[in-house]
Amino acid sequence: MTDNAYVARVENLEVKFVSRESTTKAVNGVSFTLKEGEVLSIIGESGSGKSVSMRALMRLLPSKAKIGGEVEVNGKDVLKMSGRELTRMRGKEVSMIFQEPMTALDPVYTVGDQIAETVMRHEGVSKEEGLKRALELLEFVRVPSAERRLKAYPFELSGGLRQRAMIAMALSCRPSLLLADEPTTALDATVQIQVLILLRKLQKEMGMGVIFVTHDLGVAAQIADKVAVMYAGRIVEMGPVRDLLRNPLHPYTQGMLASTVHGQDRNTDIEAIPGSPPDMRNEIRGCAFAPRCKHATELCRTTEPPETSPGEGRAVRCHLVSGMTGAEQDAPAYA
């Protein structure tokens, strides 16, 4: 893989967690590409492999994790990097916004010191210059009274301000790839919208590629250019956000959309997906979603579905879709 037009390129990524008792296959053959200035949202239930895939891009997984496949960032092979090369890459070329800023920020250092440290490490500037840059970044992410917040400790800030401080830190060295692991989950609805609007605005201004992990389809619709739906460690459907949400093809994607309150009649019960995700410590035969799918056939239970391309930019793993005609695939699943 040598095409530098992609800020990230992943081919057949596999992640296994090996212990004495069992082997857990967390990610099974994930592939995607991300161009400059593009936002990919990865959605799915808890345990589907979203966050593990993200951390594999930065090699932030524990030592018991075995990573296979190919991972490239800016044309560089991440899986072959030395520890020193990884340290240079993290924060400068690739940055990550974590789910809970209270645990990601160090409670014994001020917000300004933590942002300045990142700038000093990667850009070799003095502490005075680092703090100056930290102040500029807090103002950049619209933190009110930024000079005062610079000297504050994380516990002195609200959840929304802590998240903005995390965004400032992630953007401190102008990375080409930003990984956001459910950064709005711990925030209330109003603050969540503010953070999403801010992230999208900053992403466009800086031209970054962004991978945004969420379990919220509404969040994906607001921020993404394309969406990848993960289930049991695999991407089961991918496509442009508008096409995928208007015409979901995989039964799992359809089930997630049907189980949301948006667009539902007040007197109608929400149609939840039955059952539970599979135990990834066990071998999965056929389609992993088959035990929960009302359309499953014997073929689904015994044979893993191949990836098919039902349209431009679309990909799906489903025997039912691969057997459809073009007209059936184009027919909207929901009005």
| Annotated domain spans of the chain | 1-93+176-335, 106-174
Distance CA 128, CA 326 (A): 62
pLDDT value of residue 278: 92
- Interstrand relation of 209-214 and 226-231 (parallel, antiparallel or unpaired): unpaired
CA–CA separation, 28 and 13 (whole Å): 7
- 249-298: pLDDT as tens digits: 999 999 998 877 555 566 666 778 888 999 999 989 999 999 999 999 99
Proportion of the chain above pLDDT 90, given as a percent? 60
In this predicted structure, the answer to whether residue 218 has a pLDDT above a threshold of 90 is no
Write the CB contacts of 128 (distance below 8 Å, at least 6 apart in sequence): none
Distances from the Cα of 142 to the Cαs of 91, 146, 272, 303, in angstroms? 21, 8, 39, 52
The CA dihedral of 230, 77, 33, 201, to the nearest 10 degrees, is 100
DSSP-derived 3-state class of residue 168: helix
The 3-state secondary structure of 17-30, one letter per residue:
EECCCCEEEEEEEE
pLDDT of residue 262: 58
* pLDDT band at residue 193 using 50, 70 and 90 as cut-offs: confident
Angle, helices 111-123/127-140, rounded to nearest 10 degrees: 120
Q: pLDDT tens for residues 75-110?
A: 999 999 999 999 999 988 999 988 776 778 899 999
Per-residue pLDDT of 107-128, as tens digits, reads 999 999 999 998 998 888 999 9
Q: What 3-state DSSP class applies to 320?
A: helix
CA distance 52 to 63: 13
What is the torsion angle, in degrees rounded to the nearest 10, for the CA atoms of residue 330, residue 262, residue 186 and residue 184? 40
Question: May I ask the CATH architecture of the domain 1-93+176-335?
Answer: 3-Layer(aba) Sandwich (3.40)
